[in-house]
Structure 1
Amino acid sequence: MKFYFTFLSVLITLISCKNDSNEHSINYAYLGGEIINPTTNFIVLTKDDAVIDTVKLDGRNRFLYKIKDLNEGLYTFSHGGEFQLILLEPEDSLLFRLNTLDFDESLVYSGKGNRKNNYFINEFLQNEDEEKYILKLCQLDGATYQKRVDSLKVSKISALESFSSKYNPSDLFLKIAKANIDYSYYFSKEVYPFGHYGKNKAAILKSLPEDFYDYRNEINYNDEFLSSHHNYNKFLRYNLSNLSLTSHDKHDNNACYDRKSLCYNLDRLKLIDSLISNPAIKDELLYHFTMGYLSKSKNDENNKILLKSFLEKSGNEASKKKMARYTNSINRIKDGEQLPEIKLVNYKEEVLKINKLIDSPTVLSFWSHTYYDHFKESHYKLKELKVKYPEVKFIMVNIDSYAMEKSRRLLEGSGFNNTNEFKLDNPEEATEVLAVYPMTKTILIDKNRKVANSNTNIFSVQFEEQLLGLINK
């Protein structure tokens, strides 16, 4: 492996030197690497949600690709439903190696441009652990919490300064690195009232130190440069939810915050519409919050009201049509009604109608390669439930459009058999008919093929109680 990367580095250097003599301006970069345990034979390279190219792996699961007319900045490479951001600048010859069984944790960069990208992947992994720690800190009082998260930010700034003094990175790197630190810090402030155990969120906000949210004066809600940036988007979601708490409290003096409240969700859409003018940022936030509400609501009238608000504010015609269809699907899958008919494919590649499979109390759950942690955790949970409730049939459905063999390999490689495991025959149509969102959605069906619960979650504390109710129905 060391020899391979050394060889590629030398090769890229030679190519670069040759091209440098013929090009007045250097506006290209190389990206290459090796993928261990690949789930497809290609990677997809994108920038700002636009696909640049689909790059095939060779017979040794390696590739080397030249990006011509480079637009320096953050790019995304994806493989088998997993993805990661990389920073590419002129003359970079970036190489990576990863194992799909441990995608982010195994990712290591070499070649020119490796230091900045190793910095970012290490920061990404650190932030994942930090978020769990932050949620624990949220139980502290506001003043103490602020001191703790301020300390975390100071530590990150110190680490960036040390990196900068040692490697003298570009202004572009520093701009992104500083944004990572700032918006991670801002997120930790915005999440506080939601993570705090107190139910009266308005009272929690009023108890905070006066300078707790001073940074809000500096926020650009229409930052096109950061519009596809994870930390920025995560911050915006919590910030707008937080701000909506205050506006909602003014006309609905409810002691207990309810994120499922129609009034609160209408307030949030209204706030987004008033604060954000950038179409991409605005439409993504409107879509995210509207879909989140509808996926948990069983009230047809409220769904129609929120949909109307979304349609009035969104400028994305494709999203508007999709949301309207999703709302219709949600309103069709009602408790007491028959489950809509869709076709499934078993691992013998036989096409079957779903209602033909249901002859006893049934749990219908879904999974995707994209959500690998959910795939593992849900299968372990269902394995446990199958032992406790043998009278219940547990059906697991993969919603991806990948070939059957990919799902088979993942199931077998993870130690799960394919009994009552299926794929959707027409994923795009079926996920819409069953309104499969979020991935944790689970449908309970009684022995008469009637929907007993159109939207529950196997990890809910009420799930086993719901299961007993299904059995005794």
Structure 2
Amino acid sequence: MKFYYYTLLIAITLLGCKKDYAKDNGDYAFFGGEIINANNNYVVLSKSKRIIDTIKLDGNNRFIYKVDNLQPGLYNFKHGGEFQMVLLEPSDSIMFRLNTLEFDESLVYTGEGAKKNNYLINEFLRNEIEEKQIFKFCQLNAEDYQKEIDSIKDNKLKKLKKFKNKYDTSDLFNKIAQANIDYNYYFNKEIYPFVHYGGNKNDILESLPKDFYSYRKNIDYNDAFLKDYFIYSTFLRWNFNNIALSEHYKHAEKNHFKSSDVCYNLDRLALIDSLVTDLEIKEDLLHHYTVNFLNKSKNEKNNNAILNFYISKSSNAEGKAMITQYAKALHNLKTGETFPETVLIDTRNSETSVDAIINSPTVICFWSQTYYDHFKESQHKIYELSTKYPEVKFIVINVDSYGMDSALKALKRNSFTFKNQYQFKDPKASKEVLAIYPITKAFIIDKDHKIVNSKTNIFARNFEEQLLGLLNR
């Protein structure tokens, strides 16, 4: 009830503000909200990777902000590592309420412009739920699979039509809502050969109906408007995975495919270079695939081939410097090397070091409030593994720059143990030295501080086999 009184108060305030700003011709919007179980005291508002402002919460974890010189479109708001999008158009006065313990699920908008945003967040949540169902459908033959996803798309189109008939929607909203439906459908098509249980991907491709990928001729690989939209970027990645597969089979054995093959990865990078001209979209894709390959490959020759291709095609000096440093760090973290000396802060805010706390076979893993789902899942997994393998020490390091107090609040709020929890003293430098990308990576270290595996993952199917190998050394 307090929130609704607050919303009413804000609405009255905004009505007054709108009169005062009438001369602005509507090139502004108001955005605010209330955050339950706040992780920190601010919200970051951004658009197209450009931070607009860091907005401080008041004593009741609320805020109200006027976006001047509004560029209509999708904006990001971020709090405590979680983020979501909001569509802002001229003269919108949008308020939200959310609980950080269920960030997306609890998000509700009110005010002028709320209906379109509630529609979009509900579609986002629906897509997440449908994903598991889609993966099951992928085991059907191609014709039956297409019927299932066609049915899902038709239902979404009917729902959108009903919404547009009920409310006076803008062309901008219509474009985004339609793109959400279309690119989810295209995404479902692109993942089919990879998720389908068949081992021979070439046979799967050849069994597809001739029009299965007919929509590709209309794909815009350089859509500047949608480039910040999650489903568009996700589609592009899977589309390049797929078309690179077809390209790969033109010169590879028809019954052979591994996503780790250097020739497949070079094919994919070459396709990106040939089809994408938008520099930001191209850089995001080249960067993503280059880093992923380097993180998984242990073949120095192949790593150099991928790195050199990226450097020759990227126009982003900062990106090239970062990936070159990343490759160098990975080279220094090979099996048999001594784990780098790293200064940590313990839960009592005292300095220590990795060298000082390794005295037995050890696993070092990481978490960030930016990846909240991984944070929760990894803490549960570490508890399970440490109970099952008491001979192994699990060191858990928070990589954020928010300070240890913020990390401890996140642990306490979720009832996780403080045991063997640490934070980097210098997060930026430590993440570079240890090449911490993705956040799921983990190190296996022997009792003599030697690296056994620097590219593992506690969720990997063979992770427990790796632990047994460590204990039997």
Normalization by structure 1: what TM-score? 0.98
Distance of 1:96 and 1:367 partners within structure 2: 28
Deviation at residue 19 of structure 1 after TM alignment: 2.6
| AA partner of residue 89 (structure 1) | E
Q: 1:256-271 counterparts in 2 under 5 A?
A: 256-271=256-271
| AA partner of residue 11 (structure 1) | T
Q: Could you say what secondary structure the match of 1:295 adopts?
A: helix
Aligned to 2:6: 4
Aligned to 1:334: 334
Aligned to 1:13: 15
Aligned to 1:62: 62
Deviations 1:34-87 (CA, angstroms, capped at 9, x unpaired)? 111111111111111111111111111111111111111111111111111111
Q: Could you say what secondary structure the match of 1:379 adopts?
A: helix
Q: 1:266-285 counterparts in 2 under 5 A?
A: 266-285=266-285
| AA partner of residue 325 (structure 2) | R
Deviation at residue 257 of structure 1 after TM alignment: 2.0
Q: 1:196-207 counterparts in 2 under 5 A?
A: 196-207=196-207
Aligned to 1:416: 416
Distance of 1:34 and 1:387 partners within structure 2: 39
Q: Could you say what secondary structure the match of 2:204 adopts?
A: helix
Distance of 1:388 and 1:18 partners within structure 2: 65
Q: 1:91-130 counterparts in 2 under 5 A?
A: 91-130=91-130
Aligned to 1:136: 136
Aligned to 2:160: 160
Distance of 2:327 and 2:48 partners within structure 1: 28
Deviations 1:103-149 (CA, angstroms, capped at 9, x unpaired)? 11110000000000000000010011111211111111011001110
Cα contact 1:361–1:471 (8 A) shared by 2: yes
* Count of aligned pairs between the two proteins: 471
Q: What are the ranges of 5 or more consecutive residues in structure 2 without an aligned counterpart?
A: none
Say whether residues 1:459 and 2:465 are aligned partners. no
Deviation at residue 319 of structure 1 after TM alignment: 0.5
Aligned to 1:436: 436
Aligned to 2:184: 184
Aligned to 1:30: 30
Say whether residues 1:470 and 2:458 are aligned partners. no
Q: Could you say what secondary structure the match of 2:32 adopts?
A: strand
Cα contact 1:404–1:423 (8 A) shared by 2: yes
| AA partner of residue 199 (structure 1) | G
Distance of 1:437 and 1:24 partners within structure 2: 44
Aligned to 1:355: 355
Distance of 1:344 and 1:300 partners within structure 2: 31
Aligned to 2:393: 393
Deviation at residue 24 of structure 1 after TM alignment: 6.2
Cα contact 1:298–1:331 (8 A) shared by 2: no
| AA partner of residue 176 (structure 1) | I
Q: What's the % identity of the aligned pairs?
A: 51
Cα contact 1:366–1:396 (8 A) shared by 2: yes
Distance 1:24 1:46, change over 3 A: closer
Q: Could you say what secondary structure the match of 1:126 adopts?
A: helix
Q: 1:249-328 counterparts in 2 under 5 A?
A: 249-328=249-328
Distance of 1:263 and 1:376 partners within structure 2: 37
Deviation at residue 337 of structure 1 after TM alignment: 1.4
CA RMSD of aligned residues (A): 1.0
Distance of 2:417 and 2:190 partners within structure 1: 43
Deviations 1:404-460 (CA, angstroms, capped at 9, x unpaired)? 111001111211121111001111111111111111111100111111111111111
Aligned to 1:169: 169
Normalization by structure 2: what TM-score? 0.98
| AA partner of residue 288 (structure 1) | H
Cα contact 1:336–1:451 (8 A) shared by 2: yes
Q: Could you say what secondary structure the match of 1:225 adopts?
A: coil
Distance of 1:197 and 1:355 partners within structure 2: 45
Distance of 2:184 and 2:24 partners within structure 1: 40
| AA partner of residue 366 (structure 2) | F
Q: Could you say what secondary structure the match of 1:34 adopts?
A: strand
Distance of 1:367 and 1:472 partners within structure 2: 28
Deviation at residue 297 of structure 1 after TM alignment: 1.1
Aligned to 1:382: 382
Q: Could you say what secondary structure the match of 1:384 adopts?
A: helix
Distance of 2:63 and 2:216 partners within structure 1: 44
| AA partner of residue 196 (structure 2) | H
- Which 4+ residue blocks in structure 1 deviate beyond 6 angstroms? none
Deviation at residue 251 of structure 1 after TM alignment: 0.6
| AA partner of residue 143 (structure 2) | A
Deviation at residue 254 of structure 1 after TM alignment: 4.7
Higher mean alpha-carbon deviation, 251-260 vs 94-103, is at 251-260
Cα contact 1:41–1:56 (8 A) shared by 2: yes
